[in-house]
């Protein structure tokens, strides 16, 4: 059973297993400093407790660091698995081998609950990370070393066929 709200006082008090119960639910997250976010919780990073919160009306998402969370309140159980939004800019022409590699990588990342979207020939995780052709480990552009390492590790573990 999911509680209606959870008070979080320290980063180490976040129960990742309990946070997983909030996935695919419409929640309100209050963070230290008083800022409030609302949206559907898409996923939780099991190491850092970071939360990806999707705002469907604006087709955007927020990445909320686990150590900043003060309180989570479930507003509504959506009752369905969240699927990511389509990006209209993704219709640019790309050669088939590159397109195939991009689709394969995108599907792998989505399967592992990394909310990437196609923007032309690039795969993007918000403004945080960009993957450019030919979509290999070395094609990831990111200023956050932790996010970069985690995505690269995930790409490295992708099955070849």
Q: What is the pLDDT of residues 22-75, one digit of tens each?
A: 888 999 999 988 999 998 888 888 777 888 888 877 777 888 988 888 888 999
User: Which is more confident, 36 or 3?
Assistant: 36
**Third-level CATH fold of 5-77:** SH3 type barrels. (2.30.30)
Euclidean distance between CA atoms 59 and 61, whole angstroms: 7
**Listing from the earlier edge strand, what are the strands of the sheet with 36-44?**
5-7, 69-77, 25-31, 36-44, 51-55, 60-64
pLDDT at 131 over 90: yes
Work out the percent of the chain whose per-residue pLDDT is above 90.
31
Domain boundaries, the chain: 5-77, 88-156
Q: What is the pLDDT of residues 74-113, one digit of tens each?
A: 998 877 776 654 444 444 445 577 888 999 999 999 999 9
Q: Look at residue 35 in the predicted model and tell me its pLDDT.
A: 93
Euclidean distance between CA atoms 61 and 41, whole angstroms: 9
DSSP 8-state assignment for residue 158: S
- Judged on CB neighbours under 10 Å (0-12, 13-18, 19+), 8 is buried
Q: Look at residue 48 in the predicted model and tell me its pLDDT.
A: 78
Q: What is the pTM of this model?
A: 0.49
Euclidean distance between CA atoms 112 and 139, whole angstroms: 19
């Amino acid at each position: 059973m999911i509680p209606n709200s959870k008070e979080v006082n320290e980063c180490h008090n976040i129960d990742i297993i309990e946070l997983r119960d909030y996935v695919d639910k419409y929640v309100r997250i209050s963070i230290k400093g008083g800022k409030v976010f609302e949206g559907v919780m898409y996923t939780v990073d099991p190491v850092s407790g970071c939360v990806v919160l999707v705002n469907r009306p604006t087709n955007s998402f927020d990445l909320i660091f686990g150590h900043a969370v003060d309180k989570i309140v479930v507003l509504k159980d959506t009752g369905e698995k969240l699927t990511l939004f389509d990006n209209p800019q993704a219709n640019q022409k790309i050669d088939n081998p590159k397109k195939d590699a991009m689709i394969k990588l995108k599907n792998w990342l989505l399967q592992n609950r990394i909310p990437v979207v196609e923007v032309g020939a690039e795969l993007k995780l918000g403004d945080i990370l960009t993957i450019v052709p030919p979509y290999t480990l070395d094609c990831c552009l990111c200023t956050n070393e932790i996010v970069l390492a985690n995505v690269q590790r995930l790409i490295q573990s992708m099955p070849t066929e």
